[in-house]
Amino acid sequence: MATMTMTRGRTVAVTEARRARRKQNLVGWLFISPVVVGVVVFQFFPILVSMGASLTSWNGISAPKFVGLRNFKDLFSNDPLFRQTFKNTIYFTVASIPLTIGIGLVLALLCARPVKGVAFFRTAYFAPYVTNVVAIGFVWFWFFQPDNGVINGLLSQLGITGPQWLSSSSWAMPAVILVSVWQGIGYPMIILLAGLQGLPEEYFESARIDGAGAWARLRYITLPLLTPHFLFLLITQFITSFQVFGLIYVMTKGGPGHATSVYIFNIYQNAFGFGKVGYASAMAWILFAVIAAVTFLQWKLQKRWVFYS
């Protein structure tokens, strides 16, 4: 009799625990359900569609036609525009990343010293980063006007005849890069500033006692300690630069000719302009492969230069 009630008590406890656990699971999944539904419907499903679409000839309206790897073959072997936009994107990326991070570092070092009005300067350097690309693109578009624009106006006061900028196939890209760097510097500046403010004071104290000058302290203490931040910036800046679109759309529409046509702009035109959805999807997956490969490489190479104290 006594044992019976005990077993019954235990079964009741077990089922109760199970019920409680089931309720816990239900509550947990209810809390995350909006995100789960969203990610499945608006990301997973479209990603699958896009993977499939990359193997088809499809205009997005009529039924897709399976073509195997032909889109990829066409892209690599007989699409000069694909090749050029790829090169343009590399040009843009390789030029803008060192400039953005380098000047960002200078600004972070300037703002890290406690001087009066530093908050104002920090805000000024950061303002372009939060400004929309349409406004920025417009202003710089007029700045770069060859005859009566601000840039060539200032250059002529120094006795220099400025180039044709946005209407020159060799100067359009440098002009766009300049604007992109100007706009983007705020981000690395903030990241590096946070890094600088988190550096342990002891290192600097002992270096100062050892008689290390400001330059030596920067070269041998500050920069090595910031290398994890540089790695982070290299990875994120590569991902964003490689997908630049807005400034190009507003300032040049890829021109003159295809001089500033970048990778995403090419995808945009193929998908939404020419209705080549299959072809554009293939390009999107090549982009993914490039970004994944470069990110992986950067992650692997970090052992060679990133310093963890």
Say whether residue 6 binds other proteins (CB under 8 A): no
Q: How far is the CB of 172 from other proteins (least distance, A)?
A: 18
Q: How far is the CB of 253 from other proteins (least distance, A)?
A: 11
Collect all residues with Cβ–Cβ distance below 8 Å to 165 and sequence separation of at least 6.
Answer: 144, 145, 146, 149, 151, 152, 171, 172, 175
Say whether residue 136 binds other proteins (CB under 8 A): yes
Per CB under 8 A, the segment of 65-73, 75-83, 118-126, 215-223 that binds other proteins is: 118-126
- Pick between residue 147 and residue 202 the one whose CB is nearest to other proteins: 147
| Binding residue (CB under 8 A) for other proteins from 199, 218, 287, 306 | 287
| Binding residue (CB under 8 A) for other proteins from 182, 207, 227, 256 | 182
Say whether residue 169 binds other proteins (CB under 8 A): no
Determine the size of the site formed for other proteins (CB under 8 A): 88
> 227-266 mask for other proteins (x: CB under 8 A)?
-xx--x----------x-xx--xx-------------x--
Say whether residue 81 binds other proteins (CB under 8 A): no
Q: How far is the CB of 117 from other proteins (least distance, A)?
A: 8
| Binding residue (CB under 8 A) for other proteins from 34, 68, 159, 211 | 34
Residue with tokens 């909006």: 34
| Binding residue (CB under 8 A) for other proteins from 17, 94, 150, 301 | 150
Q: How far is the CB of 211 from other proteins (least distance, A)?
A: 16
Say whether residue 220 binds other proteins (CB under 8 A): no
- Pick between residue 207 and residue 287 the one whose CB is nearest to other proteins: 287
Say whether residue 164 binds other proteins (CB under 8 A): no
| Binding residue (CB under 8 A) for other proteins from 6, 11, 38, 98 | 38
- Pick between residue 38 and residue 98 the one whose CB is nearest to other proteins: 38
Tokens of 8: 């019954």
- CA of residue 233 relative to chain centroid, distance: 9
Say whether residue 12 binds other proteins (CB under 8 A): no
In sequence order, what DSSP letters do the residues of the chain get, joined into one string? -HHHHHHHHHHHHHHHHHHHHHHHHHHHHHHHHHHHHHHIIIIIHHHHHHHHHTTEE--SSS--EE-TTHHHHHHHHH-HHHHHHHHHHHHHHHHHHHHHHHHHHHHHHHHHS--TTHHHHHHHHHHHHHS-HHHHHHHHHHHT-TTT-HHHHHHHHTT-----GGGSTTTHHHHHHHHHHHHHTHHHHHHHHHHHHTS-HHHHHHHHHTT--HHHHIIIIIHHHHHHHHHHHHHHHHHHHTT--HHHHHHTTT-STTTT--HHHHHHIIIIIS--HHHHHHHHHHHHHHHHHHHHHHHHHHHHH----
Say whether residue 57 binds other proteins (CB under 8 A): no
